[in-house]
Structure 1
Amino acid sequence: MSALLSVDALTRRFGGLVAVNAVSIDLHRGEIHAVIGTNGAGKSTLINMLSGEIAASSGRVALDGVDITTRAQSRRARDGVGRSYQRTTIFPEFSVHENCRLSAQAATARPWAVWQASGSCAASNAAAGEALAAAGLEADAGRIAGTLSHGAKRQLEVAMCLATKPRVLLLDEPLAGMGAEETERMLALLTRLKKTHAILLVEHDMDAVFRIADRITVMVNGTVIATGDPAAIRNNADVRTAYLGEGH
């Protein structure tokens, strides 16, 4: 099966610092591929390059066989690359539905669309409704986003990604700050979404990663030291020494 998102020798330098060093990853449809590593390993920089937020110093990114390495973040979003961030990025004073509608409008080829009246954007309203239903937030559509629980806000961020009609989801620590029940809801959501999307997941919750990931890539100091299924990563001596610890 060909990769939906193919990353080849992607590198990012900040002056003399190599934050990401020749990383190669293939992300397939119907898969959750987790990237793990300690703080400073280069995980968020990698996602920022994949989404187009920052440019790669060298290497190649291809989406469904098409080179998108030099495309801007807005173009990649239209091409089907959606992402969430470590920190909550919702509009707290707007309704849950309005948050999703604005995301849907912003992802169109018309950058001024976000300034149109909501009633004139039937397609964006429909996309927002579908995204909220997929994320399990349909009942909260009219609620002010800032009043949601932390876990529901993170679900809303995923819904905002879905409203842009992505094929690939880049999720940066979606479980951060969650309690046990909220974590279970998010894991159930991601399990549903992988049936229709390719998901790249950066996450520090190792128990969750080993439960949900189909494949795991381990980064240390900007370099990939191992990629494999959860069992292979758990039993990899280099990973155990560098990151997981002998007792994991």
Structure 2
Amino acid sequence: MAESPSTSPFASKLAVRGLTRMFGGLIAVNNVNLDLHVGEVHAVIGTNGAGKSTLINMLSGEIAASSGTIALDGQDVTQMSQPRRAKAGIGRSYQRTTIFPEFSVLENCRLTAQAQAHPRPWHIWQSARGCMLSNERAKAALARAGLLQHQHAQAGSLSHGAKRQLEVAMCLSTEPQVLLLDEPLAGMGAEETERMLQLLQELKTGHAVLLVEHDMDAVFRIADRITVMVNGSVVASGTPDQIRVDPIVRTAYLGEEQAHG
């Protein structure tokens, strides 16, 4: 059973109320309420088509909501463009790799930092190489993501897991308050997964983290709160222990074996 979030958007770093997205007659996301807090990893889970990708795209500003509100630190950002939301403090990673494979690890991160500071695209290419502030931000982000020792390596030469770490570092280089992470564990082996989980555990200090992920073992290990979506709607939200025993979740998503595991 879904819990009711706080009625005040000021109680959360990111507060979502009544968020809905329609594509013609299809309701992709239906009246979703969500609260993200600094110090927590909040996972959103659901089968394919549950509305997770549409939700994260609305939160980042890549698609507009049909109705509802999104507040960052109490400020309504619902009508803000994606670049303005990024500048306000909402950063995201993507399901598919978005790195520049021919550039160095540092250059990838530096360009992201520069893009956040200068939204006009020609400023990125004119200033990225010489901008000390962007360079400092990029190196700090790489250090947090555990990639500083690879800063001069060509990004395309990294392992799959390291590329995913680089994407997180690129997100961090924009100095976000909220991290929206879209399947950061996708395609990873056991060792790479462990490194990413450790990184996520560290990142929640100082950030509100939204994690969209299919790896249920990882979700139940790392998440402080879990929201379950089915057919665009939230059917349950709570702690991992609460979600494990929720009868609606057992029936709709996890299955008896996982629920009792």
User: Structure 1 length normalisation: TM-score?
Assistant: 0.98
Match of residue 41 from structure 1: 50
Q: Does 1:66 align with 2:75?
A: yes
1:143-183 per-residue CA deviation (whole Å, 9 max, x = no partner) reads: 00000000000000000000000000000000000000000
Match of residue 88 from structure 1: 97
Equivalent residue letter for 2:100: F
Q: Does 1:211 align with 2:221?
A: yes
1:205-235 per-residue CA deviation (whole Å, 9 max, x = no partner) reads: 0000000000000000000000000000000
Where does 1:108-147 land on structure 2 (aligned, <5 Å)? Answer: 108-111=117-120, 112-147=122-157
Structure 2 gap segments, 5+ residues each = 1-9
Runs of 4+ in structure 1 off by over 6 angstroms are none
Match of residue 245 from structure 2: 235
CA distance in 2, matches of 1:118, 1:26: 35
Kindly indicate whether the alpha-carbon contact (under 8 Å) linking 1:78 and 1:109 is maintained by their aligned counterparts in 2: no
Kindly indicate whether the alpha-carbon contact (under 8 Å) linking 2:118 and 2:124 is maintained by their aligned counterparts in 1: no
Kindly indicate whether the alpha-carbon contact (under 8 Å) linking 1:32 and 1:215 is maintained by their aligned counterparts in 2: yes
Match of residue 32 from structure 1: 41
Which residue, 4, 10, 16 being the options, matches 2:25?
16
TM-superposed deviation, 1:118: 3.6
Aligned residue-pair number:
248
Which residue, 178, 190, 200 being the options, matches 1:190?
200
TM-superposed deviation, 1:113: 2.4
Kindly indicate whether the alpha-carbon contact (under 8 Å) linking 2:83 and 2:119 is maintained by their aligned counterparts in 1: no
CA distance in 1, matches of 2:201, 2:162: 17
User: Structure 2 length normalisation: TM-score?
Assistant: 0.94
Percentage identity across paired residues of the two chains: 70
Structure 1 gap segments, 5+ residues each = none
